[in-house]
Structure 1
């Protein structure tokens, strides 16, 4: 390799470089290097004039440099890089409106200034000197670059044809560095920096770094391409095999032979199903679509799921309707104590069903029952007993909290993840088309922007419409007329009127203490003994006194759920004692043991007032969980005729207070009340201020408390009152009498009014 000179400072004035002038051509997005031969297009008039002038007048020599901003149309000296090259014009070819020239870089120069701008650019320049460097350093750097070049060729790196020819014939280290610097993929400022680098070793190292960077990118792209191609090949192979399999199965089907595929089993199930003919015809059309599109089609899985859902419905499967009323009555009495009205209604329904079957009546539609009552009174468990008595399948769906109409009617098949609604799912789970279907917590259904589920239930629960119930997912009518629907809820006021109009309401009252005692003796003890791994021999029998003590001192509810927990708590303690102390029988029929197992008493048997008080009366209230008593307190104080109401009262109860005050003021002389209502304030308070209270039925008790406070007379504590009062002093009819009477009895109140 030839020796080069040591690096020289471009601005060193002691060397006194000779200034020369040549035509100048600025390039956009290209940096030309010495020893590089390439073709360039020239479109600007000034550039074309410079090219032609140089070709004719300057021995085909021209200055070439790059613009700092390629968008500049008429660059000045500040818009150009100062370091460029002298190039020789090899050939010129004139085309429409432009010139095509082959030029070859010769040497680096430093452009000093522009001497002419019209009609073309002329520039003053000086040659950039070269200085000798260490031959060993240059040789090592060149060998490293050549090694990387070979790797680049192996990876498929493409170079310009002239560059390839130069590299293959053997060139100097300087030319090698310039050729590679011209070919690497770098930005214009980066290539310009390589052009301005005078040390050959530095250019060789920089070119090597750029080449390594390119190779890493190329390796990554190649790896991605190989993986993509591999996946594509696997996909193509699968598609080809699937298509061939599809055609083979198609030909086998034409010949009437079984292909053994799952789709053939699907077809058999459709044909042997007892679904109606029009639905079967439709399913076979869907099956044909599935066969035509193949398993790999995006819609294939949706159609297949749809067909499987329809096939799994219990088409033609009905439980026998002929039921013995004596057997049904026996089952209902065995499973539930009391509930006379409910049991009577069930037996009436069964009797009607038997007569219709006997007379072969074709009239469809049956009454739909709705059980309304407090929690724990046996609404849900009674539904199971009804199914058992009718010898039908039982299915339950809890509707509490649902807000989407699609939960009832299903989703349309256009949606991803579509599925049928709860009604159709219930039939599928029951494996019968006439189960006893319980819709639990009907009063706790919500509604939002997705629709109102209670409106969707109107068709389901209408005996005149549900024979043609259409689920959005199935999109064909299903006969629900033989399904025995039972609804349950706690508060009838929260059930919409149109839905309430379609069902027969059966009210469940709270249990009396006598009823609870019998439920414990006949049902709960046996159930909890079995649940806790005990036998009747492991415990003593509970007397009525002990059971009544458990009911009155540890529970305060309309149903028996907490009472069942109390019994379970006792038997768990018994189980622990039997295991740890190795005893065979535990005596639980004494109050001391009950208190030990259950802890301190939670309720007092007498929760009425401890003494007769002035301005205090006892009211009776109905709630969704049973009856309750509430106290009304009245204070009279000097003031300006203000009425103060506290205790978190609703608007109706506030109006009752105002009505009571109006009535007393209008009849004050009849009650012998000697008070100036304009000079006193009346404060009416309902204790337990955190509990919301509303309703008109406390009007009588409020009036009694007011008269007591105004006349300074005590109200007997064992009198409970209920009923709405008018401003004429009339007490209106009351509701929830049984619940209120039970609450009064449990509180020790002896007189009601």
Structure 2
């Protein structure tokens, strides 16, 4: 189609403004118009000869139809078809014919301008062909890396000889800015157009290379992300089809969040193990048995309070005040506890490591009910840390402490880790109760685990079998309790410092009852001090005759029994108007029966009966050791549920007495027990069988400290001399007749004091080293006499 078919130019024709891009002469393209001015211009063109001039707006946001709001160049063409669309727009099918330029605006309603056709200047064909070769090369390079050049466009460029046509084809394909398009469009110099287009192609090539490189990197990363995303989505869909709900995904997200929160406070190995198990859980089906095991593991280990510590500042004044408030007497244990925390406080003040403080494990030992565990309670209160009690009595399975391996059904962490979880802090006060009663079986030896737990060199990396990673236990304050330290293995004893918490005297029990037990039980039973009162005489009888213990546990129970009956009486209005006073005559009504802990002496001197002193797990006791002689051949019979050591003590005592008889250091009767006066003295022990018995035969007894008492009983029965009923004794005897020191002296002397014993014989070494530990009231009322040999013992006891 030729422009000459539409008349001569310059000519006045309607003008349509295209907002987005420049139109080119070779184009047949739709134009969508909504602007009223464009619609009027299109209608005007259709009324005349369908010819119209299409230009491009300088600013697509500009709505004014002024000369400077659009470019002065454009395409002259005809409107092939006009269609009104449902949305109110007008669609024009436009066919470009040639380029034109606006000479002047003739009218604005509708917009019409005087248009002339742009004619290109003459050019040198050889020079233009050389430039065209360069352009084709650059375009080919661009086409290889750009998706905007269709393959048939390159063929069209190669087949076309018109350079201006080629420039328009390439320019229409490139994504040029409006100003760049205008420079190419408006120029009539073919050479300048070609050179400008080459620069634009080179610039676009560099841009496309950079974009391609960036896209390649982004694509690889996105491909990986998309791959993971699609796989996860597929997994979710599969799980959904199998009945797995969204709650599990939320739980796993919470596990990851919690793990990231505690990551700074935990070991790398621990973080790696927990993360590994969470990732493993994500790959498992929810209903599988392994998934439940793994989920239980994750929930357990995420509850361990990594990074959480009790931060209250240590103060020995607070510790001392709390101990004095909660416990009466116990001066030495309280003094040692204050020293323990004094070291920690001093280290903290001087900003030094806490190695010394962590290196000491305290172990309170003594009879039941004397306040061992309550001392630990007071320590926890004083330093404001949680108290965790781990009962070791009868523990045989090593996995109870170290944890069960997750391969076993019902596996769970050990008691130490469970204690940390319960405390919600990494530095609680942890009481290892009854450490002397740990058992040993085919399931292992728990004491070997306690060696690691209580050793400051090892417990910084304690490995629990269940968690499968190391946990630092060095911040825990470990306190052990025991009744009999001889049952604790030697390596374990070596890791602890033992503090004796011994028996209370009757006077101390009375003070404890008045200051602590009675007020506490009144409060527990909702009673007021003005409603119930226990007289001192009644309290003394309760202590002496209704309780059998070294501590005050049964005393508390007896007081609680009285309080219960008083509460019942008040509710029944029997004592609504006056105070209930418990006197000695009222005790049979409130308490069941009298329990004689220690038989008091009856003042009758007898032959063959000796007061021995013994240490038991519930305190000291007075043992009546009895001996009789029966005609026989010098045999020795021992009864009374005696242990091997005590039986050996009996045989040693018999041998020592034989030696004394042979050496005539023990005078014998001249008539009784012998066939005639001429019978040699040394033969008397061969004429009789000796039966030695320790009463309460059902109660097991053992230990070497009854040696001198057994020897005194045998000496009394063979010499037929009575013994002092108000004398008791304790001491180990050797074959040479020496008296060796014993243990548990304080408890034994308290028992003697309770029984009304006036004089006690003890080994001289005990007299020198242990007398400071004996309560003052005991020393005042009991004569304590040191002995070195069996001769001294017999001289004091035999009448």
Partner residue, 2:718: 710
CA distance in structure 2 between the partners assigned to 1:258 and 1:599 by the alignment = 60
CA distance in structure 1 between the partners assigned to 2:645 and 2:597 by the alignment = 31
Partner residue, 1:276: 266
Partner residue, 2:668: 673
Partner residue, 1:354: 345
1:449-468 to structure 2, matched below 5 A, reads 449-468=442-461
CA distance in structure 1 between the partners assigned to 2:542 and 2:379 by the alignment = 30
Partner residue, 2:377: 384
Partner residue, 2:555: 563
Partner residue, 1:577: 569
Shift of 1:295: 2.8
1:620 has 2:620 as partner:
no
Shift of 1:290: 2.1
Partner residue, 2:737: 729
Shift of 1:543: 3.8
Stretches of 4+ aligned residues off by more than 4 angstroms? 246-249, 257-260
Match for residue 419 of structure 2 among 406, 414, 426: 426
The size of the alignment, in residue pairs, is 506
Q: Deviations over 1:55-107 (max 9, x none)?
A: xxxxxxxxxxxxxxxxxxxxxxxxxxxxxxxxxxxxxxxxxxxxxxxxxxxxx
1:89-128 to structure 2, matched below 5 A, reads none
CA distance in structure 1 between the partners assigned to 2:592 and 2:274 by the alignment = 64
Calculate the aligned-residue CA RMSD, in Å: 2.3
1:282-293 to structure 2, matched below 5 A, reads 282-293=273-284
C-alpha contact 2:328 2:512 (8 A) present in aligned 1? yes
CA distance in structure 2 between the partners assigned to 1:562 and 1:514 by the alignment = 16
SS in 2 for 1:419: coil
C-alpha contact 1:335 1:385 (8 A) present in aligned 2? yes
Partner residue, 1:401: 394
Shift of 1:319: 0.7
1:438 has 2:446 as partner:
no
C-alpha contact 1:646 1:686 (8 A) present in aligned 2? yes
Match for residue 690 of structure 1 among 698, 708, 713: 698
Q: Deviations over 1:622-643 (max 9, x none)?
A: 1121101111111123222222
C-alpha contact 1:639 1:680 (8 A) present in aligned 2? yes
C-alpha contact 1:321 1:357 (8 A) present in aligned 2? no
Quickly say closer, same or farther: Cα 1:260–1:604, change in 2 above 3 A.
closer
Q: Deviations over 1:405-464 (max 9, x none)?
A: 110000112222211100000000000000000111111221211111111111111111
Shift of 1:323: 1.8
Q: Deviations over 1:321-368 (max 9, x none)?
A: 522211211111111111111111111121111122222223533311
Quickly say closer, same or farther: Cα 1:260–1:693, change in 2 above 3 A.
closer
Quickly say closer, same or farther: Cα 1:293–1:581, change in 2 above 3 A.
closer
SS in 1 for 2:648: helix
CA distance in structure 2 between the partners assigned to 1:644 and 1:258 by the alignment = 77
Partner residue, 1:323: 314
Partner residue, 1:338: 329
Q: Deviations over 1:503-537 (max 9, x none)?
A: 11111111111110111001110111122221112
Partner residue, 1:470: 463
Q: Can you give the 5+ residue segments of structure 2 that lack an aligned partner in the other structure?
A: 1-231, 670-680, 762-799
Quickly say closer, same or farther: Cα 1:282–1:610, change in 2 above 3 A.
same
C-alpha contact 2:610 2:624 (8 A) present in aligned 1? yes
C-alpha contact 1:638 1:680 (8 A) present in aligned 2? yes
Between 667-676 and 572-581, report the one with greater CA deviation: 667-676
SS in 2 for 1:487: strand
Q: Deviations over 1:488-517 (max 9, x none)?
A: 111111111111111111111111111101
C-alpha contact 2:326 2:378 (8 A) present in aligned 1? yes
Shift of 1:582: 4.6
Partner residue, 1:267: 256
How high is the TM-score relative to the length of structure 1?
0.64
C-alpha contact 1:511 1:558 (8 A) present in aligned 2? yes
Shift of 1:292: 2.9
Partner residue, 1:645: 638
SS in 1 for 2:735: coil
SS in 2 for 1:652: helix
CA distance in structure 1 between the partners assigned to 2:440 and 2:646 by the alignment = 28
CA distance in structure 2 between the partners assigned to 1:258 and 1:611 by the alignment = 84
Partner residue, 1:44: none
CA distance in structure 1 between the partners assigned to 2:601 and 2:647 by the alignment = 24
Q: Deviations over 1:359-412 (max 9, x none)?
A: 222353331111111111111111111100111111111111221111000011
Quickly say closer, same or farther: Cα 1:340–1:259, change in 2 above 3 A.
closer
CA distance in structure 2 between the partners assigned to 1:258 and 1:635 by the alignment = 83
Partner residue, 1:545: 537
SS in 1 for 2:566: helix
Shift of 1:258: 12
Q: Deviations over 1:108-164 (max 9, x none)?
A: xxxxxxxxxxxxxxxxxxxxxxxxxxxxxxxxxxxxxxxxxxxxxxxxxxxxxxxxx
Partner residue, 2:760: 752
How high is the TM-score relative to the length of structure 2?
0.61
SS in 2 for 1:681: strand
1:135-214 to structure 2, matched below 5 A, reads none
CA distance in structure 1 between the partners assigned to 2:737 and 2:376 by the alignment = 45
Greater Rg by CA: 2
CA distance in structure 2 between the partners assigned to 1:320 and 1:621 by the alignment = 46
Quickly say closer, same or farther: Cα 1:477–1:672, change in 2 above 3 A.
same
Q: Deviations over 1:465-490 (max 9, x none)?
A: 10100000111111100100111111
Quickly say closer, same or farther: Cα 1:604–1:323, change in 2 above 3 A.
closer
Quickly say closer, same or farther: Cα 1:519–1:543, change in 2 above 3 A.
same
CA distance in structure 1 between the partners assigned to 2:365 and 2:557 by the alignment = 23
Q: Can you give the 5+ residue segments of structure 1 that lack an aligned partner in the other structure?
A: 1-239, 250-256
Quickly say closer, same or farther: Cα 1:292–1:720, change in 2 above 3 A.
same
CA distance in structure 1 between the partners assigned to 2:295 and 2:512 by the alignment = 51
Partner residue, 1:366: 359
CA distance in structure 2 between the partners assigned to 1:277 and 1:619 by the alignment = 59
SS in 2 for 1:264: helix
CA distance in structure 1 between the partners assigned to 2:452 and 2:248 by the alignment = 44
CA distance in structure 2 between the partners assigned to 1:258 and 1:513 by the alignment = 64
CA distance in structure 2 between the partners assigned to 1:438 and 1:501 by the alignment = 18
SS in 2 for 1:280: helix
Partner residue, 1:144: none
